[in-house]
Chain A
Amino acid sequence: MMTGFFRKNEIKQKNDILRGVYEENLRIIGKGNARITRTRFFFLRKTFLTFLLAMSALLLHGLFSNTTLSPESQLTASIIPQNMPVLPVSATGEALPASSDYKAFINQGVSLSRVFGLRVKTIMIDAGHGGVDSGTIGKMGTKEKDISLDIAKRLKERLLRTGHYRVLMTREDDVAVALNNRVEMAKAARADLFISVHLNYIPSKPINIIETYYFGPTSDDKIRELAKQENAGSEYGLSDFKEMIGKIGETMKLQESREFAASIQKSLFANTSMHNGNVHDFGIKRAPFVVLLGVDVPAVLAEVSCLSNGQEEKELSTEGHRENIARYLEAGIMDYLNKGDFSHEAKR
């Protein structure tokens, strides 16, 4: 009697396993039911909406009271309007008396890292999601966390091959890493540049888009070039300049992040569209992502592809496509670091 029970149980187990294998393979070829554990409504996640609302209120308060830019800790969830004046803040958070010359200097859009001849030594790559947090999931079961990690590793390899940078990652395995820990890692490593790799998901439209998020205003090419020449040879690293950043507020981070985002977006879109005419350029945008705002240095979050697009999901399952994305990101980083000498075509 008992033997019969165990035998029946074993047969049921086996049948379940066989059906599981079958269903998994159906999913791979796109015949399975689309299973999306978490969708992203365009780029903003619900959790950030809360931040957004709260910080927008703070921001408005700042604007109407004609105060300076909030300290970084308070910026972690706000969106700064393009025309918002950026003024220096003292280490204690108290507004410094800003001279009109200095204010004008800041507002001319000079790239301060180049004014001071700062060098990038350490690059931190953040592969989005991980562990129990799969990110978005395509119809064939492809997970954002796996693709972002794969691309991040390829990017790391490529950057290391240049021999010029120390390249670190916030995760190198399929593990969950809290956002604040990612930020702390970047700070502890004294990272000079931070790039977070993600994939988009747009359930409402069957399109493929590329977009990059940053936190900062524009800069002026002429002044930047002049300052670059004047300060050539500076041995300072970006992270060495924390105190200076404190004095000039978040200006440098904001400027550099925007330029960095523009370079990444330009390279990603220009190169991708050469092979794929159906990709849309959603440009660079500002968003209150914690990983962008928490780190002290130029930081961007690149949505390098779109998992909700069936064709793109298929492409992402090939080595070549993922390697290409890493290549475009590398070209974008190089563009940003060697502003002015950039060839738009990513190198093989």
Chain B
Amino acid sequence: MKQKDEQKQDKSLFVGIDLGTSRSSISAGNNTREWIESYVGWPKDFIAQQVVGKPVLFGGEALENRLSLDLCRPLERGIIKAGIEKSDEAVKEIIKYLIGLAKPGSDQKIHAVVGVPADSLKVNKLAIRSAVSDNVNSLMVVSEPFAVAYGMNLLNNALVIDIGAGTTDFCIMHGTIPSEEDQKTILTAGDYIDEQLFSYLSEKYPNSKFNKNMVRQFKEQFSFVRDVTEDMQVVIPVNGKPVMHDIKNEIRRACESILPALVETTTEMIARFDPEFQIRIKNNIVLAGGGSLIRGIAEYLQDALKEYGTCKVTCVSDPLFAGSDGALKLAQDMPEKYWEQL
């Protein structure tokens, strides 16, 4: 049996991909794990191409050189952004690049499971399939929180909350593939925090010059809810001079802006579930995605839900790869006969 599995692995490379609004990652059967920021950039003109030296740039490198590039972040609010051909093209490039990072053998067939924001599955599933399918031999598309749940073996009586950049996806697992009623998506997520933070900082420091990318970096460096003891000072130019700014209060306000919707939707999801199993679900809530890195968020949610009885909220240990690892596990567990049709 083991020999047969190894043969299967040699002929095929199984990959799991988490196609996120902000970051995309790949986990492959050959133990490769890589991630990039979900940005793609094409040189604006011939001179720009000479400067950057490549026909297309990805992730951090694309962001660094953004002034020379037509920059595209193809997934907005969890769906392929209307733009329209460029966004499709950008998704194709991201997938191609990620698969290249997994270093498949030249004669290996690639079987991929791609996790996408849950809302994409409603109206964009075919578009995502067609964007991805050029670069793989067979493909399955699943929702991101489901991939996380499968990877962590949370198949029954669990609620996975994937706080991404564009969307926060909720998924209840109860021993079967989750139906639409078991999943819900809201738009208060990482990008929403960025918008709030940008607005608070603009209000407090009207003469300081910062952009949305800087604001996102501040959030990723300091994000927290409730209270922490550390100071939060950043350098922002004012009239060209670098000046220290205290942004602690604004960081907290921005991060806490997503909490009301998070608590409300969590209670709503639990309340819709079979009352006999609600206690079990409440004791098995898992936060995933970049938003799970906000300090104090699990504890906040746990306390907020206490009035409905005891509950336990934990965070995945590796939010960057939890989705792609789960998708890889799905790909590896999938019977071979299923791949033939897809």
Q: Please give the residue numbers on chain A whose beta carbons come within 8 Å of chain B beta carbons, in ascending order.
A: 10, 13-14, 16-22, 24-26, 28-29, 31, 132, 140-143, 146-147, 150, 154, 174, 314, 316-320, 322-323
List B contacts of A13 (CB < 8 A).
155-156, 175-176
> Could you jot down 13 A-B contacts, CB within 8 Å?
A10-B155, A13-B176, A14-B333, A16-B176, A21-B177, A21-B330, A21-B334, A25-B139, A141-B125, A150-B123, A319-B124, A322-B123, A323-B82
Closest partner residue, chain A, to B142 (CB atom): A21
Contact B341 A26 (CB under 8 A): yes
- Alpha-carbon distance between A143 and B181 when the two chains are bound, in angstroms: 14
List A contacts of B84 (CB < 8 A).
318-320, 323
Contact A31 B127 (CB under 8 A): no
Contact B155 A18 (CB under 8 A): no
- Alpha-carbon distance between A142 and B124 when the two chains are bound, in angstroms: 9
- Alpha-carbon distance between A221 and B166 when the two chains are bound, in angstroms: 48
Closest partner residue, chain A, to B85 (CB atom): A320
In this complex, the member of A19, A29, A150 whose beta carbon has the largest number of chain B beta carbons within 10 angstroms is: A29
Contacts A13-B176, A141-B125, A319-B87 supplied; 5 other A-B pairs, CB < 8 Å: A13-B155, A14-B333, A17-B150, A17-B155, A319-B83
Question: From residue 105 to 161 of chain B, which have CB atoms closer than 8 A to chain A?
Answer: 113, 122-127, 129, 139-142, 150, 155-156
List A contacts of B184 (CB < 8 A).
174
Given A10-B155, A319-B124: A16 touches B177 (CB 8 Å cut-off): yes
Contact A29 B87 (CB under 8 A): no
Contact B87 A146 (CB under 8 A): no
Closest partner residue, chain B, to A318 (CB atom): B127
> 5 closest A-B pairs (Cβ-Cβ)?
A20-B177, A317-B126, A146-B122, A22-B338, A320-B84
Closest partner residue, chain A, to B184 (CB atom): A174
- Alpha-carbon distance between A10 and B154 when the two chains are bound, in angstroms: 11
Closest partner residue, chain B, to A131 (CB atom): B181
Q: Is residue B225 within 8 Å, beta carbon to beta carbon, of the partner chain?
A: no
Contact A28 B123 (CB under 8 A): no
Nearest CB in chain A: distance from B336 CB, A: 11
Question: From residue 172 to 225 of chain B, which have CB atoms closer than 8 A to chain A?
Answer: 175-177, 180-181, 184
- Alpha-carbon distance between A316 and B123 when the two chains are bound, in angstroms: 8
Closest partner residue, chain A, to B113 (CB atom): A21
Chain B residues touching A, majority SS: mixed
Q: Is residue B47 within 8 Å, beta carbon to beta carbon, of the partner chain?
A: no
List A contacts of B341 (CB < 8 A).
22, 26, 31
- Alpha-carbon distance between A314 and B333 when the two chains are bound, in angstroms: 29
- Alpha-carbon distance between A317 and B79 when the two chains are bound, in angstroms: 11
Contact B176 A26 (CB under 8 A): no
Residue among B85, B126, B141, B156 making CB contact with A314, cutoff 8 Å: B126
- Alpha-carbon distance between A255 and B177 when the two chains are bound, in angstroms: 50
List B contacts of A319 (CB < 8 A).
79-84, 87, 124, 127
Contact B123 A147 (CB under 8 A): yes
Closest partner residue, chain A, to B140 (CB atom): A25
Residue among A18, A29, A174 making CB contact with B334, cutoff 8 Å: A18
Contact A17 B79 (CB under 8 A): no
Nearest CB in chain A: distance from B37 CB, A: 22
Contact A17 B127 (CB under 8 A): no
List A contacts of B127 (CB < 8 A).
317-319
Q: Is residue B335 within 8 Å, beta carbon to beta carbon, of the partner chain?
A: yes
Contact B80 A28 (CB under 8 A): no
Q: Is residue B342 within 8 Å, beta carbon to beta carbon, of the partner chain?
A: yes
List B contacts of A17 (CB < 8 A).
150, 155, 176-177
Closest partner residue, chain A, to B126 (CB atom): A317
Contact A25 B141 (CB under 8 A): yes
- Alpha-carbon distance between A13 and B157 when the two chains are bound, in angstroms: 13
- Alpha-carbon distance between A25 and B339 when the two chains are bound, in angstroms: 10
Contact B335 A18 (CB under 8 A): yes
Nearest CB in chain A: distance from B19 CB, A: 15
Nearest CB in chain B: distance from A343 CB, A: 22
Contact B342 A22 (CB under 8 A): yes
- Alpha-carbon distance between A28 and B150 when the two chains are bound, in angstroms: 21
- Alpha-carbon distance between A10 and B156 when the two chains are bound, in angstroms: 9
Contact A18 B338 (CB under 8 A): yes
